[in-house]
Protein backbone atom coordinates (compact mmCIF):
# COMPACT_ATOMS: atom_id res chain seq x y z
CA UNK A 1 0.00 0.00 0.00
CA UNK A 2 1.37 3.41 -0.98
CA UNK A 3 0.63 6.68 0.78
CA UNK A 4 1.29 10.07 -0.78
CA UNK A 5 2.21 12.98 1.44
CA UNK A 6 2.63 16.65 0.61
CA UNK A 7 5.11 18.48 2.85
CA UNK A 8 5.33 22.25 2.54
CA UNK A 9 8.63 23.91 3.48
CA UNK A 10 7.85 27.30 5.09
CA UNK A 11 10.89 29.45 4.27
CA UNK A 12 9.91 32.62 6.13
CA UNK A 13 11.38 35.72 7.79
CA UNK A 14 10.69 35.96 11.53
CA UNK A 15 11.49 38.81 13.93
CA UNK A 16 13.62 37.89 16.92
CA UNK A 17 11.70 38.39 20.17
CA UNK A 18 8.31 39.02 18.55
CA UNK A 19 6.78 35.77 19.72
CA UNK A 20 3.17 36.88 19.24
CA UNK A 21 3.89 38.31 15.79
CA UNK A 22 5.78 35.20 14.74
CA UNK A 23 2.84 33.06 15.84
CA UNK A 24 0.56 35.16 13.61
CA UNK A 25 2.95 34.60 10.69
CA UNK A 26 2.81 30.86 11.38
CA UNK A 27 -0.99 30.90 11.34
CA UNK A 28 -1.04 32.83 8.05
CA UNK A 29 1.35 30.29 6.52
CA UNK A 30 -0.79 27.41 7.76
CA UNK A 31 -3.84 28.88 6.05
CA UNK A 32 -1.90 29.46 2.81
CA UNK A 33 -0.42 25.95 2.85
CA UNK A 34 -3.88 24.43 3.16
CA UNK A 35 -5.63 26.76 0.71
CA UNK A 36 -2.98 27.03 -2.01
CA UNK A 37 -0.98 23.81 -1.69
CA UNK A 38 -3.39 21.31 -0.08
CA UNK A 39 -0.61 20.43 2.34
CA UNK A 40 -0.59 17.47 4.70
CA UNK A 41 2.42 18.74 6.65
CA UNK A 42 4.00 22.18 6.98
CA UNK A 43 7.53 22.54 8.37
CA UNK A 44 8.90 25.79 9.79
CA UNK A 45 12.53 26.68 10.65
CA UNK A 46 14.45 26.27 13.88
CA UNK A 47 13.24 28.42 16.82
CA UNK A 48 10.36 29.74 14.73
CA UNK A 49 8.56 31.44 17.60
CA UNK A 50 11.51 33.38 19.02
CA UNK A 51 13.38 33.96 15.78
CA UNK A 52 17.08 33.13 15.57
CA UNK A 53 19.30 33.80 17.42
CA UNK A 54 17.29 35.02 20.43
CA UNK A 55 20.46 35.23 22.55
CA UNK A 56 19.84 36.30 26.17
CA UNK A 57 16.12 36.75 25.56
CA UNK A 58 16.15 33.03 26.32
CA UNK A 59 17.03 33.91 29.92
CA UNK A 60 13.98 36.10 30.47
CA UNK A 61 11.55 34.86 33.10
CA UNK A 62 8.48 35.48 30.93
CA UNK A 63 9.77 33.37 28.02
CA UNK A 64 7.95 30.19 29.06
CA UNK A 65 4.59 31.97 29.43
CA UNK A 66 4.91 33.73 26.07
CA UNK A 67 5.81 30.52 24.23
CA UNK A 68 2.92 28.63 25.82
CA UNK A 69 0.50 31.41 24.84
CA UNK A 70 1.75 31.38 21.25
CA UNK A 71 1.52 27.59 20.99
CA UNK A 72 -2.01 27.68 22.39
CA UNK A 73 -3.07 30.17 19.70
CA UNK A 74 -1.46 28.11 16.93
CA UNK A 75 -3.15 24.93 18.18
CA UNK A 76 -6.51 26.59 17.64
CA UNK A 77 -5.73 27.22 13.97
CA UNK A 78 -4.23 23.93 12.81
CA UNK A 79 -7.12 21.64 11.91
CA UNK A 80 -6.17 18.42 10.12
CA UNK A 81 -2.74 19.70 9.07
CA UNK A 82 0.43 18.51 10.79
CA UNK A 83 2.54 21.53 11.83
CA UNK A 84 6.22 21.13 12.68
CA UNK A 85 7.87 24.19 14.19
CA UNK A 86 10.72 25.19 16.47
CA UNK A 87 10.65 26.95 19.84
CA UNK A 88 12.50 26.96 23.18
CA UNK A 89 10.83 24.66 25.70
CA UNK A 90 11.40 24.58 29.42
CA UNK A 91 11.18 21.26 31.23
CA UNK A 92 12.18 20.10 34.70
CA UNK A 93 14.73 17.47 35.59
CA UNK A 94 14.17 14.86 38.33
CA UNK A 95 15.21 17.37 40.98
CA UNK A 96 12.74 19.97 39.73
CA UNK A 97 15.36 22.23 38.16
CA UNK A 98 14.26 24.03 34.98
CA UNK A 99 16.10 23.02 31.81
CA UNK A 100 15.76 24.75 28.47
CA UNK A 101 15.73 22.79 25.20
CA UNK A 102 15.86 23.82 21.56
CA UNK A 103 12.68 22.01 20.59
CA UNK A 104 10.77 20.92 17.52
CA UNK A 105 7.11 20.29 18.18
CA UNK A 106 4.37 18.67 16.11
CA UNK A 107 0.83 20.04 16.37
CA UNK A 108 -2.22 18.24 14.93
CA UNK A 109 -5.94 18.78 15.49
CA UNK A 110 -5.34 21.21 18.32
CA UNK A 111 -2.88 19.04 20.21
CA UNK A 112 0.89 18.95 20.65
CA UNK A 113 1.43 15.32 19.67
CA UNK A 114 5.24 15.09 19.78
CA UNK A 115 8.37 17.00 20.79
CA UNK A 116 12.00 16.53 19.85
CA UNK A 117 14.92 18.20 21.66
CA UNK A 118 17.97 19.12 19.57
CA UNK A 119 20.84 16.77 20.37
CA UNK A 120 23.88 18.54 18.87
CA UNK A 121 24.34 22.10 20.12
CA UNK A 122 26.77 24.22 18.07
CA UNK A 123 29.21 26.34 20.03
CA UNK A 124 31.51 27.85 17.42
CA UNK A 125 31.66 30.85 15.05
CA UNK A 126 28.41 32.79 15.63
CA UNK A 127 26.73 29.96 17.54
CA UNK A 128 26.52 29.92 21.33
CA UNK A 129 23.79 27.39 22.07
CA UNK A 130 25.49 25.65 24.99
CA UNK A 131 25.13 28.92 26.89
CA UNK A 132 21.36 28.45 26.86
CA UNK A 133 20.24 24.92 26.03
CA UNK A 134 20.54 21.43 27.39
CA UNK A 135 21.19 18.80 24.72
CA UNK A 136 18.48 16.24 24.02
CA UNK A 137 19.24 12.54 23.81
CA UNK A 138 16.19 10.82 22.33
CA UNK A 139 15.07 10.28 18.75
CA UNK A 140 11.56 11.25 17.72
CA UNK A 141 9.64 9.55 14.91
CA UNK A 142 6.17 10.94 14.12
CA UNK A 143 3.47 9.35 11.96
CA UNK A 144 2.07 11.67 9.30
CA UNK A 145 -0.92 9.84 7.75
CA UNK A 146 0.95 6.62 8.45
CA UNK A 147 4.27 7.87 7.07
CA UNK A 148 7.03 7.82 9.73
CA UNK A 149 9.18 10.97 9.85
CA UNK A 150 12.28 11.45 11.98
CA UNK A 151 12.79 14.93 13.42
CA UNK A 152 16.19 16.63 13.61
CA UNK A 153 17.29 20.23 14.11
CA UNK A 154 20.09 21.99 12.23
CA UNK A 155 23.42 20.82 13.74
CA UNK A 156 21.95 17.33 14.23
CA UNK A 157 22.44 16.81 10.50
CA UNK A 158 26.15 17.67 10.69
CA UNK A 159 26.71 14.75 13.06
CA UNK A 160 26.04 11.11 12.22
CA UNK A 161 24.17 9.72 15.20
CA UNK A 162 20.90 11.74 15.31
CA UNK A 163 19.95 10.78 11.75
CA UNK A 164 21.20 7.20 12.14
CA UNK A 165 19.26 6.79 15.38
CA UNK A 166 16.11 8.18 13.77
CA UNK A 167 16.43 5.56 11.05
CA UNK A 168 16.86 2.84 13.68
CA UNK A 169 13.71 4.13 15.37
CA UNK A 170 11.76 3.53 12.15
CA UNK A 171 11.89 6.82 10.28
CA UNK A 172 10.97 6.67 6.59
CA UNK A 173 12.32 10.15 5.87
CA UNK A 174 14.06 12.92 7.82
CA UNK A 175 12.90 16.46 8.55
CA UNK A 176 15.56 18.99 9.52
CA UNK A 177 14.63 22.43 10.92
CA UNK A 178 17.33 25.05 10.34
CA UNK A 179 18.57 28.52 11.12
CA UNK A 180 21.68 28.34 8.96
CA UNK A 181 23.26 31.76 8.28
CA UNK A 182 24.74 32.76 4.97
CA UNK A 183 28.37 33.00 4.03
CA UNK A 184 30.05 32.63 0.66
CA UNK A 185 29.65 29.09 -0.70
CA UNK A 186 27.41 28.03 2.22
CA UNK A 187 24.71 26.64 -0.08
CA UNK A 188 27.23 24.24 -1.63
CA UNK A 189 28.20 22.99 1.83
CA UNK A 190 24.55 22.47 2.75
CA UNK A 191 23.86 20.55 -0.45
CA UNK A 192 26.80 18.27 0.23
CA UNK A 193 25.66 17.75 3.81
CA UNK A 194 22.07 16.89 2.90
CA UNK A 195 23.24 14.52 0.18
CA UNK A 196 25.71 12.84 2.55
CA UNK A 197 23.13 12.28 5.28
CA UNK A 198 20.49 11.01 2.83
CA UNK A 199 22.97 8.56 1.32
CA UNK A 200 24.24 7.38 4.70
CA UNK A 201 20.74 6.70 6.07
CA UNK A 202 19.11 5.77 2.74
CA UNK A 203 16.33 8.17 3.69
CA UNK A 204 15.02 11.27 1.91
CA UNK A 205 15.89 14.49 3.75
CA UNK A 206 13.72 17.62 3.88
CA UNK A 207 15.82 20.59 4.97
CA UNK A 208 13.93 23.81 5.87
CA UNK A 209 15.93 26.98 6.40
CA UNK A 210 15.18 30.42 7.78
CA UNK A 211 15.36 33.59 5.70
CA UNK A 212 15.98 37.20 6.71
CA UNK A 213 18.46 39.54 8.33
CA UNK A 214 19.17 39.60 12.06
CA UNK A 215 21.80 42.12 13.12
CA UNK A 216 25.04 40.89 11.51
CA UNK A 217 23.58 37.58 10.30
CA UNK A 218 21.67 36.96 7.09
CA UNK A 219 19.70 33.76 6.58
CA UNK A 220 19.38 32.96 2.89
CA UNK A 221 16.79 30.17 2.78
CA UNK A 222 17.67 27.64 0.10
CA UNK A 223 15.41 25.01 1.68
CA UNK A 224 15.82 21.69 -0.11
CA UNK A 225 14.86 18.03 -0.38
CA UNK A 226 17.07 15.12 -1.42
CA UNK A 227 16.01 11.57 -2.28
CA UNK A 228 17.34 8.48 -0.55
CA UNK A 229 20.19 8.24 -3.10
CA UNK A 230 21.36 11.72 -2.08
CA UNK A 231 20.28 13.46 -5.30
CA UNK A 232 18.83 16.95 -4.88
CA UNK A 233 15.22 17.01 -6.05
CA UNK A 234 13.88 20.28 -4.64
CA UNK A 235 15.69 23.58 -4.05
CA UNK A 236 13.78 26.69 -3.00
CA UNK A 237 15.09 30.05 -4.22
CA UNK A 238 17.64 31.73 -1.98
CA UNK A 239 16.86 35.16 -0.52
CA UNK A 240 13.14 34.76 -1.24
CA UNK A 241 10.50 34.01 1.37
CA UNK A 242 7.76 31.57 0.45
CA UNK A 243 6.13 28.17 0.74
CA UNK A 244 7.68 25.31 -1.23
CA UNK A 245 5.85 21.95 -1.56
CA UNK A 246 7.53 18.54 -1.65
CA UNK A 247 5.53 15.43 -2.59
CA UNK A 248 6.51 12.06 -1.14
CA UNK A 249 5.28 8.50 -1.73
CA UNK A 250 5.61 5.99 1.09
CA UNK A 251 5.62 2.27 0.30
CA UNK A 252 4.58 0.69 3.58
CA UNK A 253 5.36 -2.85 2.42
CA UNK A 254 8.89 -2.02 1.24
CA UNK A 255 9.28 0.67 3.91
CA UNK A 256 10.78 3.08 1.42
CA UNK A 257 9.99 6.71 0.74
CA UNK A 258 10.36 8.40 -2.64
CA UNK A 259 10.55 12.11 -3.47
CA UNK A 260 8.14 12.80 -6.34
CA UNK A 261 8.79 16.53 -6.83
CA UNK A 262 11.40 17.93 -9.21
CA UNK A 263 11.84 21.66 -8.63
CA UNK A 264 15.35 23.10 -8.60
CA UNK A 265 15.68 26.88 -8.39
CA UNK A 266 18.47 28.46 -10.40
CA UNK A 267 21.55 28.82 -8.24
CA UNK A 268 23.04 32.28 -7.95
CA UNK A 269 26.66 33.21 -8.57
CA UNK A 270 28.89 34.13 -5.64
CA UNK A 271 28.69 37.83 -6.48
CA UNK A 272 24.90 37.80 -6.84
CA UNK A 273 24.52 35.87 -3.60
CA UNK A 274 26.73 38.26 -1.66
CA UNK A 275 24.99 41.29 -3.15
CA UNK A 276 21.56 39.91 -2.27
CA UNK A 277 22.76 39.11 1.24
CA UNK A 278 23.86 42.72 1.70
CA UNK A 279 20.56 44.03 0.36
CA UNK A 280 18.54 41.73 2.61
CA UNK A 281 20.71 42.56 5.62
CA UNK A 282 20.18 46.30 5.15
CA UNK A 283 16.45 45.98 4.44
CA UNK A 284 15.69 43.90 7.50
CA UNK A 285 17.94 45.88 9.85
CA UNK A 286 16.30 49.15 8.84
CA UNK A 287 12.73 47.87 8.71
CA UNK A 288 12.79 45.61 11.76
CA UNK A 289 14.25 48.43 13.85
CA UNK A 290 11.67 50.90 12.59
CA UNK A 291 13.90 53.47 10.86
CA UNK A 292 12.08 55.62 8.27
CA UNK A 293 15.16 55.66 6.04
CA UNK A 294 18.94 55.97 5.87
CA UNK A 295 21.55 58.66 5.31
CA UNK A 296 25.18 58.21 4.26
CA UNK A 297 28.19 60.20 3.23
CA UNK A 298 28.77 59.94 -0.52
CA UNK A 299 32.43 60.70 -1.15
CA UNK A 300 32.81 59.88 -4.83
CA UNK A 301 34.74 56.74 -3.86
CA UNK A 302 33.96 53.10 -4.52
CA UNK A 303 32.87 52.10 -0.99
CA UNK A 304 30.23 54.77 -0.54
CA UNK A 305 29.09 54.28 -4.14
CA UNK A 306 28.44 50.57 -3.59
CA UNK A 307 26.82 51.24 -0.22
CA UNK A 308 24.45 53.73 -1.84
CA UNK A 309 23.47 51.28 -4.58
CA UNK A 310 22.75 48.57 -2.00
CA UNK A 311 20.71 50.97 0.15
CA UNK A 312 18.52 52.03 -2.78
CA UNK A 313 18.00 48.42 -3.86
CA UNK A 314 17.08 47.52 -0.28
CA UNK A 315 14.79 50.42 0.59
CA UNK A 316 13.86 52.36 -2.53
CA UNK A 317 15.13 55.80 -3.53
CA UNK A 318 12.54 57.64 -1.43
CA UNK A 319 14.08 56.35 1.81
CA UNK A 320 17.72 57.11 1.03
CA UNK A 321 19.60 60.39 1.49
CA UNK A 322 23.24 61.05 0.62
CA UNK A 323 25.49 63.94 1.58
CA UNK A 324 28.71 64.98 -0.17
CA UNK A 325 30.95 66.83 2.34
CA UNK A 326 33.89 68.27 0.40
CA UNK A 327 37.05 69.82 1.81
CA UNK A 328 40.06 71.50 0.20
CA UNK A 329 41.57 68.10 -0.64
CA UNK A 330 38.43 66.77 -2.31
CA UNK A 331 38.96 66.32 -6.05
CA UNK A 332 36.45 67.92 -8.40
CA UNK A 333 35.89 64.52 -10.00
CA UNK A 334 34.72 63.19 -6.63
CA UNK A 335 32.01 65.84 -6.44
CA UNK A 336 31.01 65.22 -10.04
CA UNK A 337 30.85 61.43 -9.64
CA UNK A 338 28.87 61.63 -6.40
CA UNK A 339 26.36 63.98 -7.99
CA UNK A 340 26.06 61.76 -11.09
CA UNK A 341 25.33 58.65 -9.06
CA UNK A 342 22.81 60.47 -6.87
CA UNK A 343 20.99 61.79 -9.94
CA UNK A 344 21.05 58.38 -11.63
CA UNK A 345 19.45 56.76 -8.58
CA UNK A 346 17.07 59.64 -7.98
CA UNK A 347 17.83 60.07 -4.29
CA UNK A 348 17.77 63.09 -2.00
CA UNK A 349 21.28 64.56 -2.33
CA UNK A 350 22.99 67.62 -0.96
CA UNK A 351 26.49 69.08 -0.69
CA UNK A 352 27.70 70.52 2.63
CA UNK A 353 31.26 71.85 2.76
CA UNK A 354 33.20 71.13 5.96
CA UNK A 355 35.70 74.01 5.43
CA UNK A 356 34.17 76.38 7.98
CA UNK A 357 33.40 73.60 10.45
CA UNK A 358 37.00 72.37 10.26
CA UNK A 359 38.38 75.88 10.73
CA UNK A 360 36.16 76.37 13.78
CA UNK A 361 37.58 73.20 15.32
CA UNK A 362 41.16 74.28 14.55
CA UNK A 363 40.52 77.73 16.03
CA UNK A 364 39.19 76.15 19.19
CA UNK A 365 42.21 73.83 19.40
CA UNK A 366 44.79 76.51 18.61
CA UNK A 367 46.16 76.79 22.13
CA UNK A 368 46.08 73.03 22.75
CA UNK A 369 48.01 72.38 19.52
CA UNK A 370 50.53 75.23 19.94
CA UNK A 371 54.05 74.12 19.01
CA UNK A 372 52.94 70.72 17.70
CA UNK A 373 53.51 69.49 14.16
CA UNK A 374 50.66 68.77 11.75
CA UNK A 375 50.00 65.01 11.57
CA UNK A 376 47.15 62.53 11.16
CA UNK A 377 45.20 64.43 13.84
CA UNK A 378 44.10 67.04 11.31
CA UNK A 379 42.97 64.29 8.92
CA UNK A 380 40.89 62.71 11.67
CA UNK A 381 39.26 66.06 12.45
CA UNK A 382 38.05 66.22 8.84
CA UNK A 383 36.46 62.79 9.18
CA UNK A 384 34.90 63.76 12.51
CA UNK A 385 33.39 66.91 11.02
CA UNK A 386 31.62 64.68 8.52
CA UNK A 387 30.53 62.27 11.23
CA UNK A 388 28.98 65.11 13.24
CA UNK A 389 27.01 66.30 10.20
CA UNK A 390 25.64 62.85 9.41
CA UNK A 391 24.68 62.17 13.01
CA UNK A 392 22.92 65.55 13.20
CA UNK A 393 20.84 64.68 10.14
CA UNK A 394 20.13 61.29 11.69
CA UNK A 395 18.98 62.85 14.96
CA UNK A 396 16.78 65.39 13.23
CA UNK A 397 15.12 63.02 10.75
CA UNK A 398 15.32 59.71 12.56
CA UNK A 399 17.29 58.13 9.72
CA UNK A 400 19.91 55.46 10.29
CA UNK A 401 23.46 56.46 9.35
CA UNK A 402 25.07 53.88 7.11
CA UNK A 403 28.85 53.81 7.40
CA UNK A 404 30.86 52.74 4.38
CA UNK A 405 34.06 51.10 5.64
CA UNK A 406 35.05 47.75 4.09
CA UNK A 407 36.61 44.73 5.81
CA UNK A 408 40.14 45.53 4.62
CA UNK A 409 39.97 48.99 6.19
CA UNK A 410 38.35 47.72 9.38
CA UNK A 411 41.06 45.07 9.70
CA UNK A 412 44.01 47.47 9.65
CA UNK A 413 42.31 50.43 11.34
CA UNK A 414 42.18 52.58 8.19
CA UNK A 415 39.22 54.43 9.62
CA UNK A 416 38.47 57.17 12.16
CA UNK A 417 36.66 56.62 15.43
CA UNK A 418 33.74 59.06 15.72
CA UNK A 419 34.40 60.03 12.10
CA UNK A 420 33.73 57.71 9.18
CA UNK A 421 32.98 54.99 11.78
CA UNK A 422 30.16 57.07 13.27
CA UNK A 423 26.85 55.44 12.42
CA UNK A 424 24.51 52.56 13.07
CA UNK A 425 25.17 49.99 10.36
CA UNK A 426 28.23 49.22 8.21
CA UNK A 427 27.01 47.56 5.03
CA UNK A 428 30.49 46.51 3.81
CA UNK A 429 31.96 45.58 7.19
CA UNK A 430 32.73 42.01 6.09
CA UNK A 431 33.44 42.75 2.40
CA UNK A 432 37.15 42.86 1.43
CA UNK A 433 38.21 45.71 -0.83
CA UNK A 434 38.77 43.61 -3.94
CA UNK A 435 35.29 42.11 -3.57
CA UNK A 436 33.92 45.64 -3.32
CA UNK A 437 35.14 46.22 -6.87
CA UNK A 438 33.61 42.94 -8.06
CA UNK A 439 30.26 43.79 -6.50
CA UNK A 440 30.28 47.26 -8.03
CA UNK A 441 30.81 45.77 -11.48
CA UNK A 442 28.13 43.15 -10.79
CA UNK A 443 25.63 45.86 -9.84
CA UNK A 444 26.48 47.84 -12.97
CA UNK A 445 25.87 44.72 -15.05
CA UNK A 446 22.21 44.92 -13.96
CA UNK A 447 21.94 48.65 -14.69
CA UNK A 448 24.64 51.27 -14.67
CA UNK A 449 24.34 53.15 -11.38
CA UNK A 450 27.99 53.60 -10.36
CA UNK A 451 30.10 55.91 -12.57
CA UNK A 452 32.89 53.98 -14.27
CA UNK A 453 35.49 56.47 -13.07
CA UNK A 454 34.60 55.62 -9.46
CA UNK A 455 35.56 52.00 -10.13
CA UNK A 456 38.75 52.65 -12.11
CA UNK A 457 40.38 55.49 -10.16
CA UNK A 458 42.96 54.81 -7.43
CA UNK A 459 41.30 54.66 -3.98
CA UNK A 460 41.96 57.63 -1.68
CA UNK A 461 40.59 58.95 1.59
CA UNK A 462 41.27 62.48 0.28
CA UNK A 463 42.35 63.71 3.71
CA UNK A 464 45.70 65.05 2.49
CA UNK A 465 47.13 66.36 -0.81
CA UNK A 466 47.53 63.66 -3.49
CA UNK A 467 46.77 60.96 -0.91
CA UNK A 468 46.32 57.33 -1.99
CA UNK A 469 45.46 54.32 0.16
CA UNK A 470 48.53 52.45 -1.07
CA UNK A 471 50.80 55.18 0.36
CA UNK A 472 50.27 53.55 3.75
CA UNK A 473 49.08 50.04 2.90
CA UNK A 474 50.18 47.20 0.61
CA UNK A 475 48.24 47.01 -2.66
CA UNK A 476 44.74 45.71 -1.91
CA UNK A 477 45.36 42.65 -4.08
CA UNK A 478 48.10 41.66 -1.59
CA UNK A 479 46.50 43.07 1.54
CA UNK A 480 43.28 41.11 1.12
CA UNK A 481 45.17 37.83 0.71
CA UNK A 482 47.23 38.43 3.86
CA UNK A 483 44.10 39.40 5.80
CA UNK A 484 42.21 36.32 4.69
CA UNK A 485 45.05 34.06 5.85
CA UNK A 486 45.46 35.84 9.19
CA UNK A 487 41.90 36.82 10.09
CA UNK A 488 39.82 34.07 8.51
CA UNK A 489 42.26 31.13 8.59
CA UNK A 490 44.17 32.02 11.80
CA UNK A 491 47.57 31.52 10.16
CA UNK A 492 50.71 32.88 11.84
CA UNK A 493 53.04 35.44 10.30
CA UNK A 494 55.63 32.75 9.59
CA UNK A 495 53.09 30.55 7.86
CA UNK A 496 51.87 33.45 5.70
CA UNK A 497 55.44 34.41 4.75
CA UNK A 498 56.07 30.78 3.78
CA UNK A 499 53.26 31.25 1.24
CA UNK A 500 55.52 33.69 -0.58
CA UNK A 501 54.42 37.04 0.87
CA UNK A 502 56.91 39.76 1.76
CA UNK A 503 57.91 39.46 5.41
CA UNK A 504 57.92 43.17 6.17
CA UNK A 505 54.46 43.61 4.67
CA UNK A 506 53.06 40.62 6.57
CA UNK A 507 54.37 41.79 9.94
CA UNK A 508 53.10 45.32 9.31
CA UNK A 509 49.62 44.11 8.38
CA UNK A 510 49.37 41.73 11.31
CA UNK A 511 50.48 44.40 13.75
CA UNK A 512 47.85 46.78 12.36
CA UNK A 513 45.16 44.14 12.77
CA UNK A 514 46.19 43.42 16.36
CA UNK A 515 46.51 47.01 17.59
CA UNK A 516 43.19 48.12 16.08
CA UNK A 517 40.98 45.70 17.97
CA UNK A 518 39.86 48.62 20.14
CA UNK A 519 38.46 50.38 17.07
CA UNK A 520 36.54 47.35 15.88
CA UNK A 521 34.93 46.97 19.31
CA UNK A 522 33.37 50.38 18.77
CA UNK A 523 32.40 49.84 15.14
CA UNK A 524 28.80 49.52 13.98
CA UNK A 525 27.33 46.11 13.31
CA UNK A 526 27.44 44.99 9.67
CA UNK A 527 26.40 42.11 7.42
CA UNK A 528 28.47 38.93 7.77
CA UNK A 529 29.30 37.30 4.42
CA UNK A 530 32.45 35.29 5.29
CA UNK A 531 33.13 32.49 7.76
CA UNK A 532 35.04 34.88 10.03
CA UNK A 533 33.65 38.37 10.28
CA UNK A 534 34.54 41.10 12.77
CA UNK A 535 31.73 40.43 15.21
CA UNK A 536 30.59 37.31 17.05
CA UNK A 537 32.98 35.20 14.96
CA UNK A 538 36.22 36.78 16.09
CA UNK A 539 36.63 37.62 19.77
CA UNK A 540 40.11 38.87 20.55
CA UNK A 541 41.28 40.83 23.61
CA UNK A 542 42.07 44.51 23.25
CA UNK A 543 44.83 44.42 25.84
CA UNK A 544 47.21 41.62 24.91
CA UNK A 545 50.89 40.67 24.82
CA UNK A 546 50.35 37.95 22.23
CA UNK A 547 52.89 37.78 19.41
CA UNK A 548 51.47 36.58 16.09
CA UNK A 549 54.74 35.41 14.55
CA UNK A 550 54.39 31.75 15.49
**Around 479, how many Cα atoms within 13 Å sit in the side-chain half-sphere?**
26
Name the residue range of residue 362's domain: 272-469
Domain edge (last residue) among 434, 469, 504? 469
Q: What is the pLDDT of residue 363?
A: 95
**403 shares its domain with 277:** yes
Cα–Cα distances (Å) from 519 to 418, 429, 543, in that order, read: 10, 13, 12
> Which of 469, 501, 516 is a domain's end point?
469
Query: Is residue 512 in some structural domain?
Result: no
pLDDT of residue 1: 73
pLDDT class of 124 with cuts at 50, 70, 90: confident
pLDDT, mean of residues 3-17: 96
Where in the sequence numbering do the catalytic residues fall? 46, 118, 154
For 380-427, how does the pLDDT look when each residue is reduced to its tens digit (9 = 90+)? 999 999 999 999 999 999 999 999 999 999 999 999 999 999 999 999
Q: Are residues 289 and 159 in the same domain?
A: no
Average pLDDT for residues 56-75, to the nearest whole number? 95
> Model confidence over 170-184: pLDDT tens digits?
999 999 999 999 999
> Each residue of 78-114: b (16+ CB within 10 Å) or e?
beebbbbbbbbbeeeeeeeeeebbbbbbbbbeeeeeb
Q: What is the pTM of this model?
A: 0.94
**Total structural domains within the chain:** 2
Same domain, 259 and 296: no
Measured CA to CA, the distance from residue 480 to residue 211 in angstroms comes to 29
Per-residue confidence (pLDDT) for residue 469, from 0 to 100: 67
Please report which confidence band the pLDDT of residue 526 belongs to, taking 50, 70 and 90 as the band edges.
very high
Lowest mean pLDDT among 192-196, 265-269, 466-470: 466-470
Confidence of residue 217 (pLDDT cuts 50, 70, 90): very high
Residue 78 in any domain: the answer is yes
Which CATH number goes with the domain that contains 388? 3.40.50.620
Separation between Cα atoms, residue 42 and residue 83, nearest integer Å: 5
> Residue 135: its pLDDT value, please?
93
CATH number at residue 212: 3.60.110.10
Weakest-pLDDT range from 71-75, 91-95, 314-318: 91-95
Amino acid sequence: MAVELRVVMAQLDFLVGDIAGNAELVIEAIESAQREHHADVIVFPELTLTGYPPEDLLLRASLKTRIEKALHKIKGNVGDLYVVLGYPAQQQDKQGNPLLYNMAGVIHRGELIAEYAKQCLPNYQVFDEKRYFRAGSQSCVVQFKGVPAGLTICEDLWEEHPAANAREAGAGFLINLNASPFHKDKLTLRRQLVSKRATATELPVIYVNLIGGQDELVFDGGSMAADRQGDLRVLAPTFEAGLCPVDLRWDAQQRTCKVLTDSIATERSMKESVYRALVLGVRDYVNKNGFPGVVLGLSGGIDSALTLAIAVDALGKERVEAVMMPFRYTAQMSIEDAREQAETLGIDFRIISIEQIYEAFMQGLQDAFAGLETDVTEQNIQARCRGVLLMAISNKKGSLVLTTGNKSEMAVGYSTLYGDMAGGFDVLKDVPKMLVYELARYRNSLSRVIPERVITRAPSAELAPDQKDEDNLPPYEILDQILELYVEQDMSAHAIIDRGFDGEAVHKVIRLVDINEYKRRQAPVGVRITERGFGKDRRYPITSGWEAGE
